[in-house]
Amino acid sequence: MFLASVVSSFCSTTCELGPGVSLFGSLLKLSSVARCCVNQLLFSTMPAQKKPFSRLPSTVVPVNYNLWLKPCLKNFVFEGKQQIDVKVNEATNNIVLNCLDIKIASASFTAEGKSAIASSDISFQVENEKVVIQFPSDLPIGNGVLDMNFTGELNNKMKGFYRSKYVSGNGEEKFAAVTQFEATDARRCFPCWDEPAMKATFDTTLVVPKDLVALSNMNVIDESVYSEDNTLKVMKYAQTPIMSTYLLAFVVGEFDYVEDQTSNGVKVRVYTPVGKSAQGKFALEVATKALPFYKDYFGIPYPLAKMDLIAIADFCAGAMENWGLVTYRETALLIDETSSSAHTRQWVALVVSHELAHQWFGNLVTMEWWTHLWLNEGFASFMEYLATDHCHPKFDIWTQFVTHDLVRAMDLDSLDNSHPIEIPVGHPDEVDEIFDAISYSKGASVIRMLHNWIGDESFRKGMNVYLKKHAYKNAFTEDLWAALGDASGKPVQQVMTTWTKQMGYPVLNVEVKERTDNSITLSLSQSKFRANSMSANTDDSASLWSIPVSFSTSSSPKEPVKSILFDSQTTEVKIDGVARDAWVKLNPGTYGFYRVRYSSDLLTALLPAVRDRTLPARDRLGLQNDLFALASSGVAPTTDFLKALAAYENETDFTVWSDVDGKIGTLFSLLWNNDEAHGNFKKFTLKLMKRTADNMGWEAKDGEGHLESLLRSLVIRRMGECGCTNTITESAKRLSSHLDKSCCLHADLRAPVYGNVLSHGGKKDLETLLTLHKETDLHEERNRIERCLGSAKDPTLIKEVLDFAMSDRVRSNDRIFVIGSVATKHKVGRDLAWKYTKDNWDTLHEMYKGMFLISRLVKNTTENFGTEEMAKDVEDFFEKNPAMAAERTVQQSIEQIRQKSDWWKRDGEAICAWLKENTA
């Protein structure tokens, strides 16, 4: 699954026994059955558990579901019946399944060669999302069939079997029936063993209106007229491979499609809203290239006959990897050749590649339990970059990985309220909390570090062994480490356990021990990095990581001259061939998941290489990112970071600028505490970016490509936000020409132009954007406008924007991003968005409870505060109004507010004085 929240800017506790040692490590020595038993015991007794929980008993397990469903898109209900081939492992007089919001009319059991036995009682455990089907006597051990009839609702919750509203070409409001079963919502559609390890095959039959498209995981093997109503058709699909319930999918609605096939004959279709099939061509191109790429990379063919990708109007996540039928938000799949931005094109390539990677990593081999979620998401998040780089090498996507994933994960993982990559999960309420940047982005980052350490050849070999050994089965993290360790001959498990079992990451302190005319000896020490050094209230001395560390020098800036495995508290490293005036850089390519604090002499030597760009882009990015983190945490003065930024005046790389711009945004929100300093920082930013802005201009030059388009958009937006008169004037001029249709505004310029005009305009400009929003039928354009509406500064207009967010004109899955836009653009909006969220909490929580979107709402509306008073306000509010799926996010936001408060107390006066002196 690709979470919109993880990439939208484009969206604990452990049982540790010591450094790098965890109770989970003992599972390595057990058989898979024994490990499963230990897991079940562990998860049901975890002290941090929010609710009592136990996994389903294995006395009766599924083998095959023969599932029949008849959805009604008028009354929003569905009828269902199923015959489940089961295996009874132990004598029992009941069968326990997962079930939620389903009414079971009848159930019976037929043992092999015996007569059917009707159930004696059907009792629902609503809190535990289970149903117990009781029988008058013990069921015999062996094979049997569980029959049941049931009904359910096509809900409006964007989970389970739900309805998705769309508007047809003639303006008529219509609905599609759609599924979203990950993590634990197949149970909302049919009673089932809704756990990833309870795999089975599925034979699906859908009864639907004749004029609608009906899709499932597999290809259609029979189509006939429904005997009871000739306006309906019966669609029977081929049997699926053995798979988990959360990967089953159905879609019923009106769609067009484009079709092609891969080089090895797999039929690929991209389904779009009616009349928009051309918008599926880019995704189709990516899919037909990515599937053969993965086949070759993993050494295993894609096992299904077809691959469908479909755009859904109402969809919570970015996409979902259902085997053979991947569902997407429209903005994650559709590309309009004239109105889609370079940013969206790249986003679609990444999301499509992510979901197709899951067809092997997640679908073919599945994590044994949600504790190992990162096995699915971390690896897919890493592989999406490999495939996108293969399909579109000009995107320079690996440099963007550093800021999109590595930096994002480091920011979150430096908090006291982070969690390990692997964290015990029990009750379904807890699962949504770990669909976050730790499971996705930190997971991908440590895999990238591992890949770089053992090399691509060993990585591919190990992946092939792992996937073949566990195909159509379930696996633990340790199974993967064993395969990669055997393939590389390196201590993979020993090293990687220190990254997956403990929270956080290290900072390496580096000093010169000795220097000669032709060598340098460095003294290294590692310690846990914390986002707020003032809040350290635990002993981190036991924290220790096994860190692959490489070194580059001015004579070899692109290739490491030395590599070590740093697995002690301190060490010394001698590097030969380094002249006295040469620079030395740790972590070349920024592959390592750690920060570096250089001594002043080592840092001073690096800055000229930043200024003349002889230091590679990923290293320029990583250097300033580390400097900023050290400053914001209190390890170094913030003024040192501001001084170092001067070296980036000549920067030309989009991704470096993107990360610098992110730091500028953070400082903007910090300086909302002081109007004068905020104004001076705008002047400082204008000076910093002026050369780049002048070089980029407004029009594309011959030979420009994807990255230049992204950079132009970035600098125009930031220059406008900082009050550049020429930028604001030109933005208004270009929007006017776009409105009167004399000159269409390029897609890459729309977001910055909309934001610049609205932030310096008034009610008329807001009405203009709302009119554009109403008139467009491209969801990307609507989203673009929605994310700019927070630029309005007048409180009356902000209130209008917030009311608009909750209106029918904004899809329910997009409302949070409108509110988030208001909360993150400026101080007035931040305050009003938080008040609005509190005032409307009951409505918002009911709308999004049990979804990751509630976490996104909490994050957007709280984290930009920076006083102890506001930390207490947020804390008090959520004590009275708990958000079960966002408890960790609440704690993270409160911690970040206090971190900013401490930062301002510590450095605020010095920052204000420095800005005043340097912008006079």
Report the candidate in 617, 585, 623 with the shortest Cα–Cα distance to residue 397: 617
Strand order across the 220-225 sheet: 116-118, 102-111, 142-153, 77-88, 60-72, 201-209, 232-237, 220-225
The answer for residues whose C-beta is within 8 angstroms of residue 855's C-beta and 6 or more apart is 5, 432, 433, 436, 883, 885, 886, 888, 889
Report the 3 state secondary structure along 487-546: HHCCCHHHHHHHHHCCCCCEEEEEEEEEECCCEEEEEEEEEECCCCHHHCCCCCCCCCCC
- Check residue 92 and give left, alpha or beta (phi > 0: left; psi -120 to 50: alpha): beta
What 125-130 contacts at long range (C-beta under 8 Å, 24+ apart), as own/partner pairs, is 126/100, 127/51, 128/53, 129/98, 129/99, 129/100, 129/184, 129/187, 129/428, 130/56, 130/96, 130/97, 130/98, 130/99
Side chain identity at residue 53, one-letter code:
F
Tokens representing 186 are 């197949």
At 804, phi and psi to the nearest 5?
A: -60, -40
The residue ranges of DSSP E strands in 173-284, in sequence order, are 173-180, 201-209, 213-216, 220-225, 232-237, 250-253, 256-261, 267-272
Interatomic CA distance for residues 526 and 570, integer angstroms: 7
Strand partners, 94: 134
Q: Which residues are annotated as a binding site?
A: 354, 358, 377
Tokens representing 565 are 């495995």
Q: Which helix or strand (DSSP H or E) is residue 920 part of?
A: none
Angle between helices 853-862 and 887-918 (to 10 degrees): 30
Side chain identity at residue 516, one-letter code:
T
The answer for residues whose C-beta is within 8 angstroms of residue 37's C-beta and 6 or more apart is none
**Residue 887: active-site member:** no
Q: What is the dihedral of CA 270, 272, 274, 275, to 10 degrees?
A: -80
Give the helix, strand, coil percentages of the chain, each rounded to 5: 45, 20, 30
For residue 456, count other CB atoms closer than 10 A to its CB: 11
Which listed residue (129, 355, 433, 887) is catalytic?
A: 355
Decide the pairing of beta strands 201-209 and 232-237.
Answer: antiparallel
Angle between helices 763-775 and 779-786 (to 10 degrees): 160
Decide the pairing of beta strands 173-180 and 160-167.
Answer: antiparallel
The residue ranges of DSSP E strands in 140-183, in sequence order, are 142-153, 160-167, 173-180
Tokens representing 176 are 């599609």
Interatomic CA distance for residues 361 and 339, integer angstroms: 34
Report the candidate in 541, 447, 381, 433 with the shortest Cα–Cα distance to residue 13: 433
Tokens representing 374 are 């990162």
Interatomic CA distance for residues 746 and 752, integer angstroms: 11
Report the candidate in 446, 414, 430 with the shortest Cα–Cα distance to residue 591: 446
Can you tell me which residue has the tokens 């610049």? 756
Side chain identity at residue 595, one-letter code:
R
Q: Which residues are annotated as a binding site for Zn(2+)?
A: 354, 358, 377
Asked if 818 contacts 810 with a C-beta cutoff of 8 angstroms, the reply is yes
Q: Which helix or strand (DSSP H or E) is residue 433 part of?
A: none
Strand partners, 595: 507
Active site residues: 355
